[in-house]
Amino acid sequence: MANTRALYVDLDGTLIAADVLHESLFKLPRVAPWALLKLPLWVARGKAVLKRELADRVDIDVTTLPYRPEVLAMIQAARDKGRRVVLATASDEKFAHEIARHLDLFDAVLASDGDRNLSGAAKLDAIKVDAGGEPFDYIGDQPVDLPIWREADEAVVVGSTGRLAARAARHTPATTHLEIPSVAFHRYLYGVRLHQWLKNLLIFLPLLPVLHELDASLIGNACIAFLAFGLMASSIYVLNDLLDLESDRRHKRKKFRPFASGEISIADGMQMSVSLATTSLLISVLALPWQFMAMLTLYLALTLAYSFFLKRRALVDVFALAGLYTVRVGAGAAAAGLPLSYWMLSFSIFLFLSLALAKRYVELMGTQEEIDRMSRERGYHAVDMPFVLCAGIAAGQMAALLLSLYFHDQDMMLRYSEPQLLWTLVPVFLFWVLRIWLKAVRGALHDDPVVFAARDWVSQLTVCIAAIVLWAAG
Reduce the DSSP state of residue 138 to 3 states and report it.
Answer: strand
Is the confidence at residue 422, as pLDDT, over 70?
A: yes
Is 321 a member of any domain? no
CB 423 within 8 A of CB 404: yes
Mean pLDDT of the chain: 90
**pLDDT confidence tier of residue 162, bands split at 50, 70 and 90:** confident
Is 372 a member of any domain? yes
Is 197 a member of any domain? yes
Residues 100 and 196 in one domain: no
Is 334 a member of any domain? no
Is the confidence at residue 420, as pLDDT, over 70?
A: yes
Residues 21 and 125 in one domain: yes
Residues 353 and 293 in one domain: no
Q: What is the sign of the dihedral through the CA atoms of 93, 95, 96 and 101?
A: positive
CB 78 within 8 A of CB 86: no
Is the confidence at residue 443, as pLDDT, over 90?
A: no
Residues 67 and 172 in one domain: yes
Is the confidence at residue 473, as pLDDT, over 60?
A: yes
* 15-26: average pLDDT: 94
Final residue belonging to a domain, choices 158, 182, 206:
182
Is the confidence at residue 310, as pLDDT, over 90?
A: no
- What range defines the domain where residue 469 resides? 341-474
- Where helices occur in 121-162 by DSSP H, the ranges are 121-131, 146-151
Final residue belonging to a domain, choices 135, 164, 182:
182
* 282-309: average pLDDT: 92
- E strand or H helix at 88, and its extent? strand 85-92
CB 317 within 8 A of CB 369: no
What CATH number corresponds to the domain at position 137?
3.40.50.1000
Residues 170 and 47 in one domain: yes
Task: Report the share of the chain in percent with pLDDT over 90.
Answer: 61
Q: What pLDDT is stored for residue 401 in this prediction?
A: 92
Residues 126 and 162 in one domain: yes
Is the confidence at residue 44, as pLDDT, over 90?
A: yes
Q: What pLDDT is stored for residue 223 in this prediction?
A: 93
Q: What pLDDT is stored for residue 2 in this prediction?
A: 59
Is the confidence at residue 181, as pLDDT, over 90?
A: no
Q: What are phi and psi of 291, to 5 degrees?
A: -60, -35
Report DSSP letters for 195-264, one per residue: GGGGGGGGGGGGGGGGGGG--HHHHHHHHHHHHHHHHHHHHHHHHHHHHTHHHHHHSTTGGGSTTTTTSS
- Where helices occur in 81-144 by DSSP H, the ranges are 93-103, 121-131
- Number of domain units in the chain: 3
